[in-house]
A and B are shown apart, each in its own frame.
Chain A
Amino acid sequence: MLYFIIRRLLIIIPTALLVVSVTWLLIRLAPGNFYTGEKKLPPAIEENIKKKYGLDKSMGEQYLMMIKNVLSGDFGDSLKYQGQSVNEIIRRHLPYSATIGILAYLLALIVGLTAGILAALKQNSLLDYTSMAIAMLGISIPNFVLGPILVIIFALGLYILPPARWGGISNLILPVVTLSAIYAAYIARLTRAGMLEILRSDFIRTARAKGLDEKTILLRHALRGGIIPVVSFTGPALAHLLAGTVVVEKIFAIPGLGNIFIQSVLNRDEPLILGIVAFLSILIMVFNLLVDISYGFLDPRIRYS
């Protein structure tokens, strides 16, 4: 087990470096620069800028500089936002995304698991059909449609919730609901499917034959196996949710990491793009690892050597 974890952790470093290198190359291949704008710059001013940011050095030198920065964990200063370091920007904006993300995650888990378990227990009942129909709707309606619809109803129609921006708890409701909808729907469907499969398996029948009561069967035996598909789905999903979701952050003007990421690409803000890409890739790999580890605890049949 320990060996497995160490090996996986070691792989993360070269993978992240590879991701960053490819990103760097792509940025360099894209035409334009962080300072290209509507008005043409006099050549002397362009020279001043190149000197200031070390863009007058050779590509090889610039690449090595970048790699050195990444390895030291310091991505330097943003090109666009003067006097702000990349690490500072990520640190500052992560909490916004994380707050919304974690709340949406919890909401999705509660709603999704409840709906899924109930649907599985009362298979083919009206409850099953209704919750699965709503789940299907949740999967099919993209959040850039759901968000504005919620805004129209609750912010512009009823004037009971703010339409956007960061602020109090009331500001959180719409984005969290919008964000969690699709995850809740997936979790509900996965839970239902997982539970149905497990409930039909031999060891559950054995447990029933042993005379265990329904509650113990359900919570101790069925649920542990039944939610494995949910875990493998929600692990990476949590990483995505934490790191910011572009669409919802845009719709609700939330100063989260996803918003910053998009802006950094439009601005061709190289250090910031690289910083966020590195951070995201590491985050996703770590969560994948955590998911893999958790399998071992959930399902006694899975073992790591």
Chain B
Amino acid sequence: MKREIFCGLVLALISCILTSCSSSTAGGRYWGKTEPPKENVLRYISGSEPESLDPQIPTGQPEARILMALYDGLVEYHPKTMAPIPAIAESWEISPDGTEFIFYLRKNAKFSNGDPITAKDFVYTFRRGLSPELAAQNAYLAYEIKYAQAYNSREAFVKDKDGNFLLKKDFFEDTKASKSESDKTSTFGPDTEFHRFINSPERLTVPLDEKTREAFFKKNPKIKEAVEGKELVPVRAEDIGVEAIDDYTLRLKLALPAPYFLDLLAHQFFRVVNQRVIEKFGKEWTKPENIVTSGAFKLAIHRPYDVIVVVKNPTYWDAENVSLDRIEFYPSEEQTTSMNLYKAGSVDAIYNHTVPASWIEEMRKFKDEYLDHPEVAIEYYTFNVTKPPMNDIRVRKAFALAVDRFALSKFRKTTKPLVDFTPEGIFPQYEAARKRVYEELLKEYKIPVEEWEKRYFNPAKACQLMREAGYQVRDKENGRCEVLNFPADEVSVTYNTSESNKAVAEFMQAQWKQNLGITVQLRNMEWKTFLPTRKALDYKGMARAGWVGDYMDPNTFLKLFYGPDNDSSTGWYDPKFDRMLDEANSETDPEKRFELLARAEFYMLQAQPVIPLQTQATNWIKKPYVKGLYPNPGTLHAWKFVYIERDPAKWDRDVDNIMKESDPIIEEKIARLMQTQIEFEKRKKAGA
């Protein structure tokens, strides 16, 4: 009798678990509890606990999102396209040679303590970010600014006895001596002493530290001779190409033309910080009781690992445009916990890449909530082009063609197939230009169109290339083959340990086995061991790689192959590619520039130093009543546009189309912000 009661209880418990599982997933338009919060608040799971609330320190996306709420920059990301839209700068212009930018700041911008934000604050922010003492990992983002790299790397100018500085162009005749160097007098904006200095021909800089300098001299003996006996003048913060012409006009000078630099300026690294507060409190300045911020929201509560609460900042210049009263960021990286909180209705959205792989199929059914859109991030495999057999371009091409990229995407569930090096579906104008250019180039290179179209997967061509490379090839059905005498021992795929990397590697392994009859080995390494191994080319054959764009321009991908000591981890280098990239970036007409970039991309891919595999896709969920939170290419949200919609009729439907549908409330806000820049350009045109 009593045993029966016990059994009954156990059964009841089990059935309760099962029903609560199934009742939640079966039926119902939305996943879990879906009710807008009573207050005007967004509760967002933001990922790892931020390293710091100092915008110039952290490098991760989770921090970037929180810092975007707290700080404002010269420009802000467009919530959908991430193109720069006016923020503290209400308008700007770029010099004809593309190396100078002038920003006109709005006069009503204030810090959260009421201090006005002026051009001097930006000068301070830029100099601080680049100071070697701060040791910011993101400092490289500002290296385009003239002398910024030299200052950040503790370098010095070289002065001779007559007080003249040695010039860079006398020692480097290669690509780097740019065209802009030749025009001695720039008339862009008012003439100032600093402007004359920063526009004078670029000075030579050498490392201050003796050991580094010796190494530098070893590579450049000519410079060693010239520098000997001369005075070294350290590059100071005041020497970098950032100038406050007056309180509300800021001028930047770049070392080389970099049209994409404007896109970069919305990055948190360039968002303005308050000098007085930082100098007063030192490293304690980001504590809730000390912190002063510049963005649409200000910090209210920071309980590490628990919550960061930011509230609407009444002193913000655009406060009327800010819809939310409060955002609560919950730092949690535990995917299941995040999903549970979402389902229980305790949070309204979760940061990117959080739906566990095994749940994706299930979550896809919730069409109003699951966001799968292309990202400005790619995954690819590198070839070690310095070692046989991968030093043979035909073998590299064969390996690239023998992988069915559509099958890979299908297998991966969220990614899109990729065959070029820049992500697909992210830069529409660039892709249009590239299509035009590729048509021309196909004729030039005499590549048949049907072969070109099959470059996503073409086993027959792969087999033919292997034959051409001198291997014995036995044909099999469907264009597949078996390469008989391939040194498979010399080829492996090295990847950093992770479930998904392993799955991709095994997929690739199966593809090559099936289509070329070659079995490559797989080697996995812990992340922090893998990075130095790949960098030093200590791998055989291939290694896994991924890249997330720093800014919204193809250059952020193509520059990986720039320079003899480039970041591609392939060993590939071609000065012609560098020249093509330089030429493209000196072009001020955006359309022509894209065409030139596309040529460079085509040229690099002809050498196949990498196998592009897939464009990454966003993978997160949000409640349908959260509006203005878009799956843009970086999943970086300009929070001031986000609002809570209480009318279920206006909730987001079928979010696969969210980027195409227009939201009048948000469009209107953006149009209002763009007005200042449009008017400025009109005036300029009328003036000219």
Binding site for B on A (CB under 8 A): 30-33, 35-42, 44-45, 47-49, 51-52, 77, 80-84, 89, 92-93, 96, 126, 130, 148-149, 151-153, 155-159, 162-166, 250-253, 255, 259-260, 263, 268
Distance between Cα atoms of A93 and B153 in the complex (Å): 38
Are B284 and A80 touching (Cβ within 8 A)? no
User: Mind listing 5 A-B residue pairs with CB under 8 Å?
Assistant: A48-B139, A81-B52, A83-B286, A89-B304, A252-B337
The A-contacting residues of B in range 270-303, CB under 8 angstroms, are 283-287, 303
A30: nearest residue on chain B (CB-CB)?
B528
Are B52 and A155 touching (Cβ within 8 A)? no
Are B135 and A37 touching (Cβ within 8 A)? no
Known: A31-B532, A152-B17, A163-B337. A93 touches B567 (CB 8 A): no
| Complex partner residue of A153 from B20, B136, B153, B303, CB under 8 angstroms | B20
Distance between Cα atoms of A161 and B528 in the complex (Å): 40
B2 within 8 Å of A (CB atoms):
yes
B559 within 8 Å of A (CB atoms):
no
CB distance from B220 to the nearest CB of A (A): 16
Are A158 and B337 touching (Cβ within 8 A)? no
Are A83 and B284 touching (Cβ within 8 A)? yes
Distance between Cα atoms of A52 and B283 in the complex (Å): 13
B60: nearest residue on chain A (CB-CB)?
A37
Partner-contacting stretch, out of B92-100, B190-198, B340-348, B590-598: B340-348
B140 within 8 Å of A (CB atoms):
yes
Distance between Cα atoms of A157 and B340 in the complex (Å): 11
Distance between Cα atoms of A166 and B153 in the complex (Å): 44
Contacts A162-B344, A164-B340 given; 6 further ones with Cβ under 8 A?
A: A35-B137, A38-B548, A42-B153, A84-B304, A164-B341, A259-B305
A80: nearest residue on chain B (CB-CB)?
B51
**Could you tell me how many residues of chain B have their Cβ less than 8 Å away from some Cβ of chain A?**
63
The A-contacting residues of B in range 593-618, CB under 8 angstroms, are none
B21 within 8 Å of A (CB atoms):
yes
Are B20 and A93 touching (Cβ within 8 A)? no
B306: nearest residue on chain A (CB-CB)?
A255
Distance between Cα atoms of A144 and B590 in the complex (Å): 55
Distance between Cα atoms of A114 and B134 in the complex (Å): 59
B287: nearest residue on chain A (CB-CB)?
A83
A-chain residues with CB within 8 Å of residue B32 when the two chains form the complex: 156
Are A82 and B283 touching (Cβ within 8 A)? yes
Are B528 and A36 touching (Cβ within 8 A)? yes
Distance between Cα atoms of A44 and B136 in the complex (Å): 11
CB distance from B592 to the nearest CB of A (A): 30
Partner-contacting stretch, out of B328-336, B350-358, B680-688: B328-336
Are A260 and B528 touching (Cβ within 8 A)? no
A-chain residues with CB within 8 Å of residue B304 when the two chains form the complex: 81, 84, 89, 92-93, 255
Chain B 134-151 interface mask (CB, 8 Å, partner A; 1/0): 111101100100000100
Binding site for A on B (CB under 8 A): 2, 6, 16-17, 19-21, 23-24, 32-33, 48-49, 51-52, 54, 57, 59, 132-137, 139-140, 143, 149, 152-154, 209, 212, 283-287, 303-307, 330, 332, 334, 336-337, 340-341, 343-344, 346, 526-529, 531-532, 535, 546, 548, 567
B19: nearest residue on chain A (CB-CB)?
A157
Distance between Cα atoms of A23 and B283 in the complex (Å): 28
| Complex partner residue of A82 from B16, B19, B51, CB under 8 angstroms | B51
B212: nearest residue on chain A (CB-CB)?
A47
Are A45 and B24 touching (Cβ within 8 A)? no
Are B140 and A45 touching (Cβ within 8 A)? yes
Are B341 and A263 touching (Cβ within 8 A)? no
The 3 lowest CB-CB distance pairs between A and B, nearest first, are A32-B528, A157-B20, A44-B153
Known: A44-B153, A164-B341, A165-B341. A83 touches B529 (CB 8 A): no
Are B340 and A156 touching (Cβ within 8 A)? yes
B-chain residues with CB within 8 Å of residue A35 when the two chains form the complex: 137
B-chain residues with CB within 8 Å of residue A250 when the two chains form the complex: 334, 337
Are A83 and B52 touching (Cβ within 8 A)? yes
A155: nearest residue on chain B (CB-CB)?
B344
Are B334 and A253 touching (Cβ within 8 A)? yes
Distance between Cα atoms of A19 and B572 in the complex (Å): 47
| Complex partner residue of A51 from B16, B135, B143, CB under 8 angstroms | B135
CB distance from B191 to the nearest CB of A (A): 33
| Complex partner residue of A159 from B6, B33, B286, CB under 8 angstroms | B33
Distance between Cα atoms of A187 and B79 in the complex (Å): 57
